[in-house]
Structures are given as C-alpha cells and as structure tokens.
A and B are shown apart, each in its own frame.
Chain A
Amino acid sequence: MDKNITVLETKNISKSFGKVKALKDVNFSLYRGEIHGLLGENGAGKSTLMKVLYGLYSADQGDIFINDNKVNISSPLDSIKLGIGMIHQSSTLVPEFTALENVILGIEGKKLSLDLSGERIKVKKLANEFGLDFPLDVKVKNLSAGIKQKVEIIRALYRGAKILILDEPTTSLVENEFDQLLKSIKALVAEGVTVVFITHKIREVLQACDRASVLKDGEMMGTVSTTNTTKEELVEFMFQNKDIDVTDSALPVIELPEVKLSKEPVCSVKNISVKAQDKDGVNLQDISFDIYKGEIFGIAGISGNGQKEIAEAIINPRRINQGDIFINGESIAKLKTIEVFEKGLFYTPEDRKKEAILPSGTITENMLLGHHREKRFQHNGILNWNKITKEAQQSIREFQVKTPDEKTPIGDLSGGNIQRVVIGRALINELNLLITHNPTSGLDMGSVEFVFNKLVELKENNCGVLYINEDLDELMLISDRIGVVHAGKLVAIFTREQYDKYKIGSLMIGG
C-alpha cells in the first residue's frame, strides 16, 4: 500500500431512492494498492456507494475524483474506462454463455468475428498469474459460485481494472475458498491493484484488509487502519446506540436454552428420492434425517444443491418418488400440502418477495395466506374479515412490524418487516415443525435478532425447526446439528461438538 497516493476519492456523495436517503454526504478515499474493507450492516448503503462508483446509479450530488482528477461516471462503460471493475454480489455473468465468452463480452474492438483464439491465450495467462484458473469453455450455468467469482474477477482485470470492487464476495464461498480468494487478492495488490472489499463480517475485515471504512444508515462513520483497531471498536462503529451484542460475524449474540430433546423424532425423513421438477432443479437422492422436538436442525450447502427440494418435499410429499416422511410417527407421503399444514407444519420460503408474499396484497391478506381455510377465520364458509383484521393488528403489535396500518400493501415494507410478517404468519398456530429457508438474508440486525429469538422460542416450546441457510457462521451459532447437502445428497451430519468450518466447507463444495 502506498499511503501517499490516493487513487480514488468521493466527496459529499448523496443518493436517495424516493423518500429513503441511501447515502448522506459520503466521503471515502482509497490508497493505491490497499485492501480496503467497507463494513456496514445490511441496508447501510455499501452496495449503493459502490454502484455509484461503477456508474449503475447516478449520485444526486457529490463528486468523484480519480487520481485527483474530477470524473463524470454515468454508465458502467465510463467506469470501466477509468479502470474500475466491480464483482457484484450475485453473478452478472450470462448463464448461457461460456466463461470465455463472458470474459470478452462487450470489449470494444474493431474485430467482427467471434474467433477467440487470441483472447483465449491472454485470458488463460492472466488467470494463471493470479491463481484464478477456470475452465474456459464450460457454460457459466454449469459452474459453481466460487468459479463464477473467478471468472468475474478475470473479466474485470482483462478490461484493465486497477480498482477492483468486491461486493460481499464471501456470501457463497466456504472457508477454504475464502482463503484462496484472499491469496489471489494479495497477489493482485502486489501488482498495484487496489481492492475494495465489501462485507458485513468484522472477522473478514480484520483478516483481509489494510484499512476499513464503516457505513451506517448511509453515513460514513469513519475509516480506521485494521492494525490499530479491535473487533469491539468496529462493532461500536457499525451498531452504535443499538442495544445488541454482536459476534465478529455480525450476528446477534444469542443464548441457546438447554432443551432436552425428545426420544422420538417430530419429523423423520426416510430415504427419500425426488426427481427434479424443472431443468435446473436437483434430484434428491436417498436422503434421511430426523428432527427431534426442541431441536434446530441446520442444513448447510451451497445454494442449489437440493435445499429447496428438501423443504418442498416435506411440505408437498406427494412429489416424493421413493421413501417416506413421518410427522410424529405418522406417514405424510400421501397428503396434500394443505393437509401437511394441518399436522402443525409451516414453511417460510427462501425467496421472500417472490415466494413468501403477494406484494400488492395488504398485510392482513398476507397474514391470512395458508390459514384461509381454517374454520376460525370463517363465518358460514365466508371469510370473516373483522376477525382476520383484529388478528392481523395483534400480530403487527406482537411482531413489531413497522407499518402505518394493516391495510398497507406488504410490498411497500422493508425486508425486515416483510420477514416479521412471514414469520408471524407461521407462528399463528402452534407448530410441530417450522421449515425456514434463509430467513435472515438481507435483514438488519434488529430483524435478525427477532428471527433468532423466535427460533429460540420455538425451541423452548418443543417445536422442531429445519433451518436451511447458506451462511455457515449463522448455522453454527444456532443449530443443534448440521446436515450438509451436496448435489442432492445429504453427505454428513455434524453434532455441535464436531463443528469445523473447514470440514463442513469442503463437504459443501463436494470435497
């Protein structure tokens, strides 16, 4: 790192989305050749600031300087020309194209033909130099998240990026892959590349970065050198005035109650195989596990390895091709979803906005979903809206949903508040088993704590929980046991004493 040379600087950047001020007068600067952590909890404005730098958003006010020259960035093309490259949180590669096609896509040049032999050599060499090798001719849709990330980094470098922005690069990486990524980043920095490393995990910043800046509610709280700071100080920066204890993975500290697990499982999945419903789905092969009363059973795995299929097999068991599922010893293999729910099950799906809610429906209507056939909400077969509304108002109070009233369309709420409604809906009735998929993704700390508390409450009430999550830190924090899925198989089950990030991580990527 060269402290004397500032390669990039922003002055008083502000950006609003409607009424929400996402960035307020943000000043931020980068030294040449440093790894600069950008910390902040979900919704703090980290990605927004970087998208302004990359030309995807235009700032309402403020200036950007590159090498002390004021620049105007109004599209990604401007940004690329200024030597900025961005690796986005979710892949921005074209799934149907090969890795090589993706790398060369959009590069300006006079060449008309798609003959890539020249590029092939250059790309290979570049990838090799930084330990970022990947198969060039495989379609991106068949590559793992870790490999896709390599392709994206090389794509940026191939365009001559000198400033590389990595937006939450560790989200879909396991521990071993994170170590590898860090190695490559260090090699890049040695060549004079400057790296911005966006994350919400303090641990990663202390491990990887030279300096760190902290954003909170769109405001820059300050920049510190990681050699002169501590975890506690960064926590203080990130969560000032919030009355929450936080781990170095930026998760709320929770106390798991001692609950004596039942002898008989509340849910027993026995050797189930399920054929994938669509082309990109995963076939489940011979999956067995038990969940006991009062147990939080975690499922770890890279997204798309069968997690969703397991959840859906339980709530829609008629899809199962082989095997059986028992709830409190009773087979549910022949039941419809609505009948499965009557056994005291509920499911909160992974994609909150697409699968869990009807965005333009009111909060009341969304709270009713899945319960609408219950007798207590009906009067002579017709929905009793008075009663439903009262119940919704009560849930809004109980789950502290921030909303003007129960008639507000749920799509207008923030992710955290939507999730409160979704979880609240699951908890209306007494449950035997809750299946929940990534319930905390993208939530602010207060809402994450809310979700955790609810899970702990369920545990205390002897309810079983099937907790599917990609974030291993989170699973290890809250689960009693963790099952690891890979390519549609349950490859191992770990008990709490056996937890090991590297071991679980390598199983997740098929090692």
Chain B
Amino acid sequence: MGQLTELISQIITYTAIYALTSIGIVIGGRTGIFNISGEGIMLTAASAGFISAYTTGSWFIGFLVGAIVGGLFGLILIALHETLEINQFILGITLVILGTGISDLLYKIIIGVQLFAPEAPPVPQISIPLLSQIPIIGTLFNQNVIVYFTYLITAAAYYFFYHTRLGLETRAIGEDPQSADVVGINVKKRRYIATIVGGMLMGMAGTYLPMIITGTYTTNIANGRGFMAIGIAIFASWRPERAFLGAFIFATIEILAFQQQLSGSDFPYQFLLMIPFISVLIIMWLFRKKVEFPASLGQAYSRE
C-alpha cells in the first residue's frame, strides 16, 4: 500500500513536467504555430530559473524567471516567423541549439564550479485537507504547488478551448487562419499571445527540473523530455486534457524504467534509459490513425 502510494506520488510529480510542456505546445499549435523548441526552452529555463532561485532564495522568483525565459523564446520564434517569414521548424531547431548552449553558459558564468552542488530552495508542499486522506489517490492532493498549478492549467486550457468563444476563435485560427481572418479575428495577435503563453508553460516545466526533480542544475537536465512532449501533444490530438493523460502515461513509463534501474537487476541500464524514447515511437505508431491535427499546423499565413 505504502509502496503503491509512493509510486503514484512520484508519477504525479513527474507528470507535471510533461503536462506543462505538452500543453504549452498544444496552446501554440491551436493557432497553427508548432513550437518544437521545448527542449531548448526547458534547458535555458532550468538554468536561468535555478540560478535566480538559488541567488534570491525564492522558489517563486525561480519559476517566474523560468516562465519569462520561456515566453521570450516563444516571442523570438513568433516574431521571426511573422516578420521575416522564416519556417517555424527551422526556428524551432535553432532555438533548441541556442537553448542547449546558453543554459550551460549561464550557469558557468554566474555559478561556476563549486565543491558542493548548490541546492535549490524548497518548493512548498501542500496537502489538501480531506482529499489528501483518501487512500492511494489521496497522494494526488499531497503535492508541490506546481503540480496544483498544472491541474489548474489543464482544466483552464480545456475550459478555454472548448467552452469559451475566445477558445473557439483560437481553434479557428489553427484550423483555417483565412477563415478566422475574414470574420475579423486578429490572427497575428492571437498567434503571438498563444506562442508566448505556450513558451511560458514550457519554461516553467524547465525550471521544475532542478527545483523539484534533481534539486540542482546539471548539464542536459531536460534529457529529451522537451522532444517527448511533442509526441504527447500529437498523441493528444492537440487537446489539453488528453495531453495531461499522455503526460501521466509517459511519467509512468519513466518512473517504472527508473525503478527497474534502482532495483539492481542485471538488465543493462542503457536499455532502460531508452525505454521512454522507444515508448514514444510505439505509442505514436499505435495511435497513428486516431490522431487529428489542427489543419493549418506549421503553416505561415499572410493575406496577399
């Protein structure tokens, strides 16, 4: 019982990483902007967020800086795409490379090499009264604040896209920007907002890694999760609530592979490390015919 609760608790803690990143991708994607730079955003936000939290001693400032960094990456992508008409995917790849380089650079300049790894300030844990007392699933309500934020974002994004007029309009842009344009929706503005907000969520997911998962910044801390989140967004057919489900599945796979590694079996750990990535391929293959895309995903729009 205790073991199972512990396992679920860990999975939920990891779910937040994938959920925030993939919902960030989903939000941009719903306006047609496919931001594939999640890995670069996560790395830079991990570094910048951790440095800020460590130097100020405030977890909140850490996440705030992470979100700003992510938003900036989003802004760079959308601004270059809209003004210079550069292909979204080229920009995305460039930002991944930029983020990979900049994250270590920042850390080395500001923190440098230290004898003991600097520790992140603790992020508050909150137990919801009553709910957290339920056996097993109570652990869903005994988590750090960012996990609750993730629940909130999932619900809010779902409500926004499927129950508000603004959400309907946003989805219209992703389906057919010209149709949205002719009814007077400002396509460009909405694309800017969505890409920046999406970037901010990805940034928070990046900061989450040193703050919650490892406790300190390490090189390549995102470890491909930014790419796997793209798979989740696709598996989710670009729906936020399904992205959360996908995040939970991937977190489960990652934790189980990790547990296997700790259990000291003879199975080569290199293979265990591959499991999450291979799972992406398998899941993408299984769902290849079921997934749906916003029709204008990845395409530029201009009137003339």
Given contacts A101-B168, A109-B165, A114-B164, contact A57 B182 (CB under 8 A): no
Residues of B within 8 A of A159 (CB): 183
With a cutoff of 8 Å between Cβ atoms, the chain B residues found around residue A31 in the complex are none
Q: Which residue of A lies closest to B184 (CB)?
A: A77
**CB-based contact B165/A111 at 8 Å:** yes
B184 touches A114 (CB 8 A): no
**A62 contacts the other chain (Cβ, under 8 Å)?**
no
Contact with B along A370-392 (1 / 0, CB 8 A): 00000000000000000000000
**B303–A114 CB distance below 8 A:** no
Complex contacts, B303 vs chain A, CB 8 Å = 56-57
Binary interface profile of B, 155-181, with partner A (CB < 8 Å = 1, else 0)?
000000011111111011001101111
Q: Are B184 and A76 in contact (CB under 8 A)?
A: yes
Interface string of B59-90 (1 = CB under 8 A from A): 00000000000000000000000000000000
User: B162, B178, B180, B295: which contacts A105 (Cβ < 8 A)?
Assistant: B180
Q: By the criterion CB–CB under 8 Å, are B295 and A95 in contact?
A: yes
Of A86-94, A235-243, A284-292, A459-467, the stretch lying at the interface with chain B is A86-94
Contact of A104 with B by CB under 8 A:
yes
| Nearest B-chain residue to A104, judged by Cβ | B165
Contact of B185 with A by CB under 8 A: yes
Whether the Cβ atoms of A97 and B175 lie closer than 8 Å is: yes
CB pair B164–A56 under 8 Å, yes or no, is: no
Q: How many A-B residue pairs have CB under 8 A?
A: 76
Number of contact residues on A: which range applies?
20 to 34
Quick check: is B266 within 8 A (CB to CB) of the other chain? no
Q: Give min CB distance, A221 to chain B, whole Å.
A: 25
- The verdict on A113 contacting chain B, using a C-beta distance below 8 Å, is yes
- Taking residues whose C-beta sits less than 8 angstroms from the other chain, chain B's interface range is 20 to 34
Are B163 and A94 interface neighbours, CB within 8 A?
no
Counting CB contacts under 8 A, is A155 at the interface?
yes
What distance in Å separates the Cβ of B113 from its nearest Cβ neighbour in chain A?
51
Contact A96 B184 (CB under 8 A): no
A90 (CB) vs chain B CBs: closest residue: B178
Q: Say yes or no: A106 contacts B184, CB within 8 Å.
A: yes
Q: Would you call A94 and B182 a contact (CB within 8 A)?
A: no
Given A56-B303, A57-B304, A97-B175, residue A92 in contact with residue B182 (CB < 8 A): yes
Residues 199-234 of B contacting A (Cβ, < 8 Å):
none
Complex contacts, A111 vs chain B, CB 8 Å? 165
A17 to B166, CA, bound (A): 34
- Please state if B182 and A88 are interface contacts (CB–CB under 8 Å): yes
Assembly CA distance A109 to B164 (angstroms): 12
A97 to chain B: which residues have CB within 8 Å?
168, 171-172, 175
Residues of chain B lying within 8 A (CB to CB) of residue A113: 163-165
Q: Mark A110-153, 1 if CB is under 8 A from B, else 0.
A: 01111000000000000000000000000000000000000000
Question: Quick check: A105 and B183 within 8 Å, CB to CB?
Answer: yes
Q: Which residue among B162, B169, B179 has the maximum number of chain A CB atoms within 10 Å of its CB?
A: B179
Q: Which of B164, B181, B184 contacts A112 (CB 8 A)?
A: B164
Q: Across the interface, do B295 and A76 meet the contact criterion of CB distance under 8 Å?
A: no
A103 and chain B: residue at smallest CB distance: B183
Q: How far is the CB of A319 from chain B (nearest CB, A)?
A: 19
Does residue A452 face the partner (Cβ distance < 8 Å to B)? no
Known A76-B183, A88-B182: A112·B165 in contact at CB below 8 Å: yes
A105 near B169 with CB under 8 A, answer: yes
B163 and A106 contacting across the interface, CB-CB below 8 Å = no
Within the assembled complex, what's the spacing in Å between the Cα atoms of A380 and B174? Answer: 51
On whether the beta carbons of A105 and B175 are closer than 8 Å, the reply is no
Q: Identify which of A17, A76, A113, A155 gathers the most chain B CB atoms within 10 Å of its CB.
A: A76
In the bound complex, CA of A97 to CA of B176 (Å): 11
Smallest beta-carbon distance B263→chain A, Å: 45
**Is A197 in contact with chain B by the CB < 8 A criterion?**
no
Q: Is A6 an interface residue (CB 8 A)?
A: no
**In the complex, A313 has a CB within 8 A of chain B:** no
Contact with B along A53-89 (1 / 0, CB 8 A): 0101100000000000000000111001000001010
CB within 8 Å of B: which of A203-251?
none
CA distance A113 to B175 in the complex (A): 21
What is the CB-to-nearest-CB distance from B95 to chain A, in angstroms, rounded to a whole number?
27
| Bound Cα distance from A480 to B296, whole angstroms | 42
In Å, the complex CA distance between A105 and B175 comes to: 13
Closest-CB distance, B11 to chain A (whole angstroms):
33
Chain B residues, Cβ within 8 Å of A108: 184
Interface flags for B272-297 (1: CB within 8 Å of A; 0: not) read 00000000000000000000000100
A105 / chain B contacts, CB cutoff of 8 Å: 168-169, 172, 179-180, 183, 185
C-alpha gap A94/B304 in the complex (Å): 20
| Chain A residues whose C-beta falls within 8 Å of the C-beta of B172 in the assembled complex | 94, 97, 105-106
CB nearest to A96 among chain B residues: B175
A509, B184: Cα distance in complex, Å? 32
Chain B hits for A94, CB < 8 A? 171-172, 175-176, 179-180
Q: Which residues of A contact B184 (CB under 8 A)?
A: 75-77, 80, 106, 108
Residues on A with C-beta less than 8 A from B175 are 94-97
Residue of B171, B182, B185 with most partner-chain A CB within 10 A: B182
Interface residues of A in 153-192 (CB under 8 A from B): 155, 159
Task: A388 to B181: give the CA distance in the assembly, Å.
Answer: 45
Complexed CA–CA distance, A108 and B164 (Å): 13
Q: Closest A residue to B160 by CB, please name it.
A: A112
Q: CA separation between A159 and B304, bound complex, in Å?
A: 25
- Residues in A with CB closer than 8 Å to B183 are 76, 80, 92, 105-107, 155, 159
Q: Which B residues are closer than 8 A to A by beta carbons?
A: 162-169, 171-172, 175-176, 178-186, 295, 303-304
Q: List 29 A-B contacts (CB under 8 A).
A: A56-B182, A56-B303, A75-B184, A76-B182, A80-B183, A80-B184, A86-B182, A88-B182, A92-B176, A92-B178, A92-B182, A93-B179, A95-B295, A96-B171, A96-B295, A97-B171, A97-B172, A97-B175, A102-B179, A105-B169, A105-B180, A106-B180, A106-B183, A106-B185, A107-B165, A111-B165, A112-B166, A114-B164, A114-B165
Sample of 13 further A-B pairs with CB below 8 A, known A102-B179, A112-B165: A76-B183, A80-B184, A92-B179, A94-B171, A96-B171, A96-B175, A97-B168, A105-B168, A105-B172, A105-B183, A106-B180, A114-B165, A114-B168
Closest 4 CB pairs between A and B? Answer: A106-B183, A77-B184, A92-B179, A106-B185
